[in-house]
Amino acid sequence: MQLLRNRIQNYAWGSHSAIAELCGRPSPSAQPEAELWMGAHPQAPSMVERGGAWRSLEQVIAEDPLRELGQRSVDAFGPQLPFLLKVLAAAEPLSLQAHPTREQAAAGFAREEARGIPRDAPNRCYRDQNHKPELIVALTPFHALSGFRPVERSRELFSGLRTSELDFVRDALGAGDAGLGSLFRTVMTLEPAARERVVGATLRECRRAALQGGAFAAECGWALRFGELYPNDAGVVSALLLNLVVLEPGQALFLPAGNLHAYLEGVGIEIMASSDNVLRGGLTPKYVNVDELCSVLTFQSGDVDVLSDYATPTREFRLHKLTGAARCEVRGPEIVLCTQGTVTVSAPSGELSLPQGASAFVSAADVAYQISGDGTLFRATTGEG
């Protein structure tokens, strides 16, 4: 059981205060701080102190995977940590995006390898062969888009945007879920002149609808913000087909493969299978491959399940929120993160005090540990335990 030193990702949409304040550093930070990564992902592995020196957790696991991960995890997921834990702090909206299934990722990775596309190339869709299901737990009020809204509700929204430029959207929605795929592709592949007309008309009507209030005023308000950030982006229109969700602190959202989504604003704890496969669908200056995105999307409408517990069908991870004293049995690799107060973690191998923002790696060699103190601890384990 060792303390972690973790890397911060300075993406443009990040906060200048949330992660700095969580970790007890001066705020505001000089650069936007979007994500704090805890894990062994090769892009930004955490560091642990071993033998008097700070070493990459990825390297430590590679040297003795059975000791660090345990036989159960190695048999299930191979000799690597199967999950990645993050603190995510969004001050601006992220791109519309989706993630592939494991089978889609493996096939896409092989295709791009055969084409010789470098794995760090901006036009690379599949950077590894893994899927990337995600769970986000809100630490603050957290706004997100997730999945296609029930079609009848989307028809109601677009009926309130009174412009002939959106007739094709209303017509397609009349076909129910069967029309979602072709509608999304049509929106995303509009020719530049048509896209400018459609997006401009949509924003004019959203401005009117947002001022008038009503059932979809919040959705229209977000569309206006997207339009300011990404003028003439087709994602302004396609985002209006998605469920707008506001999570209260402690509530969670699970995002399976094929779910079109975007985090908009707020701070949360995110856990995912260890992958960096992202297929984008607008509201971004980054590469968008519409054909590839449509090949992985699930074009099925419905309401969003907001979770109060964090159980998911994903084998790679499970997240637990602990307050007060508890005894935890170790059945595989774990990462623990204190998000409030101070927590003491005691194991046969030693004792750690985790103040707010501190985290630790618990290897499978630790049979059990006790937690105490007045803080809040998030415990990331595999779903196999």
Work out the burial of residue 313: count CB atoms within 10 Å of its CB; fewer than 13 is exposed, 13-18 middle, 19 or more buried.
Answer: exposed
185 is catalytic: no
Q: Which residues of the chain does CATH 1.10.441.10 include?
A: 83-314
Give the pLDDT band of residue 71 (cuts 50, 70, 90): very high
- Per-residue pLDDT, averaged over 42-54, amounts to 90
Q: Over 238-267, what HEC string results?
A: HHHHEEEEEECCCCEEEECCCCCEEEEEEE
- Give the model's pLDDT for residue 385: 53
C-alpha separations of 360 from 6, 179, 355 in Å: 10, 48, 11
- Rounded distance, CA 133 to CA 230, Å? 27
Q: Is the pLDDT of residue 42 over 70?
A: yes
Decide yes or no: CATH 3.40.50.300 for domain 318-381.
Answer: no
The reported pLDDT for the residue numbered 234 is 97
Do residues 338 and 354 make contact, with C-beta atoms less than 8 angstroms apart? Answer: yes
**Ranges in the chain annotated CATH 2.60.120.10:** 318-381
Could you say which of 124, 127, 149, 280 is catalytic? Answer: 280
* pLDDT tens, residue by residue, 193-252: 999 999 999 999 999 999 999 999 999 999 999 999 999 999 999 999 999 999 999 999
Closest to 364 in 3D by CA, of 58, 3, 74: 74
% the chain with pLDDT above 90: 95
For a pLDDT cut of 70, what percent of the chain falls above it? 99
Q: What is the pLDDT of residue 350?
A: 85
> Mean pLDDT across the stretch 161-190?
97
Interior angle at CA 33, CA 32 and CA 34, nearest 5: 110
pLDDT at 348: 84
pLDDT of residue 194: 98
Fold of 83-314: Phosphomannose Isomerase; domain 2 (1.10.441)
pLDDT (0 to 100) of residue 349: 79
